[in-house]
């Protein structure tokens, strides 16, 4: 889709969100675009699952639950980030390494917060970076916290390599997941980036389902095998603390505190 068409489609989507249910003529006036252009945008957004004809008035348009779902995910991720930040700061001070907070999106984890180390040599990923679950400490920890059926579904779609050390064999991944479940944290030695080692753990909800993951990441020369257990226990304790804070927030929200 050309850039101008994308801009027009977003203008139409945002206006429908504000004015729904809304008809073609009204939309055309509000976004200052020809009816033919608005109609094409509406049909495209409908085909993509973002808009639907209103049940009460089929010539008027409303958002679908897909749009609400995306907005809800963004709010959920923001709440996790804000709640986790104090504990992430403590973890960064304790380990002096880079801390990553990642949330799931399909087969990938998305970096939603990063606390950098003061070391000149460091692990670095830009916010918003998407990384495969099987190739990352945060992703492996997230997979290990999921039911076996979810892991089988993930494995069925293949395990593409990112580095020579990435796990690409299903049996090896299952063995790794069992180890993570046993000790409470993941160890990813250069599976995502050569020369970088990370230790991760999942943040669970009240039903013991994973919401997000935290990792301590740094050069393999600094995060050596002697530090795996120390950092692993630290990151696991951090995720437990974040979980408790999220549960308190949920309880206070229900009570209206």
Does 68 fall in a domain? no
pLDDT at 42: 92
User: Within this chain, do residues 235 and 131 fall inside the same structural domain, yes or no?
Assistant: yes
User: Within this chain, do residues 19 and 94 fall inside the same structural domain, yes or no?
Assistant: no
Residue 198 belongs to domain with CATH number: 3.30.450.40
pLDDT at 72: 61
Per DSSP, what are the bridge partners of residue 101?
Answer: 113, 214
Which positions ≥6 away from 38 have C-beta within 8 Å?
8, 12, 24, 27, 28, 31
User: Within this chain, do residues 113 and 190 fall inside the same structural domain, yes or no?
Assistant: yes
Residues of the chain whose pLDDT is less than 70? 1-3, 56, 65, 68-75, 249-257
187/200 Cα distance (integer angstroms) = 7
Residue 25 belongs to domain with CATH number: 1.10.10.10
Number of domains in the chain: 2
User: Within this chain, do residues 78 and 55 fall inside the same structural domain, yes or no?
Assistant: no
pTM: 0.74
Does 122 fall in a domain? yes
pLDDT at 63: 83
What range defines the domain where residue 49 resides?
Answer: 3-63
User: Within this chain, do residues 129 and 166 fall inside the same structural domain, yes or no?
Assistant: yes
pLDDT at 115: 95
* Beta-strand relationship, 210-219 and 196-204: antiparallel
166/9 Cα distance (integer angstroms) = 39
User: Within this chain, do residues 82 and 12 fall inside the same structural domain, yes or no?
Assistant: no
Assigned token pair, 215: 């990792």
User: Within this chain, do residues 79 and 53 fall inside the same structural domain, yes or no?
Assistant: no
């Amino acid at each position: 889709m050309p850039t101008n068409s994308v801009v027009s489609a977003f203008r139409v989507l945002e206006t429908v969100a504000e004015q729904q249910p809304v008809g073609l003529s009204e939309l055309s006036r509000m976004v200052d675009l020809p009816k033919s252009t608005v109609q094409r945008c509406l049909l495209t957004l409908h085909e993509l699952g973002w808009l639907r004809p209103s049940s009460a008035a089929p010539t008027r348009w409303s958002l679908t639950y897909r749009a609400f779902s995306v907005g809800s995910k963004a709010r959920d991720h923001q709440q996790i980030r804000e709640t986790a930040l104090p504990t992430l700061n403590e973890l960064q001070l304790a380990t002096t390494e880079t801390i990553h907070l990642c949330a799931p999106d399909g087969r990938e984890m998305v970096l939603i917060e990063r606390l950098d180390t003061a070391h000149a040599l460091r692990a670095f990923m830009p916010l918003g970076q998407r990384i495969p679950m099987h190739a990352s400490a945060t992703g492996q920890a997230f997979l290990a916290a999921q039911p076996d059926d979810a892991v089988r579904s993930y494995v069925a779609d293949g395990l593409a390599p990112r580095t020579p050390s990435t796990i690409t064999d299903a049996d090896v991944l299952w063995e790794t997941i069992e180890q993570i479940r046993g000790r409470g944290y993941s160890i990813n030695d250069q599976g995502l980036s050569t020369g970088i080692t990370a230790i991760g753990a999942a943040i669970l909800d009240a039903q013991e389902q994973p919401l997000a993951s935290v990792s301590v990441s740094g050069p393999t020369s600094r995060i050596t095998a002697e530090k795996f257990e120390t950092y692993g226990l630290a990151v696991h304790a951090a995720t437990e603390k974040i979980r408790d804070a999220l549960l308190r927030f949920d309880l206070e929200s229900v009570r209206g505190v």
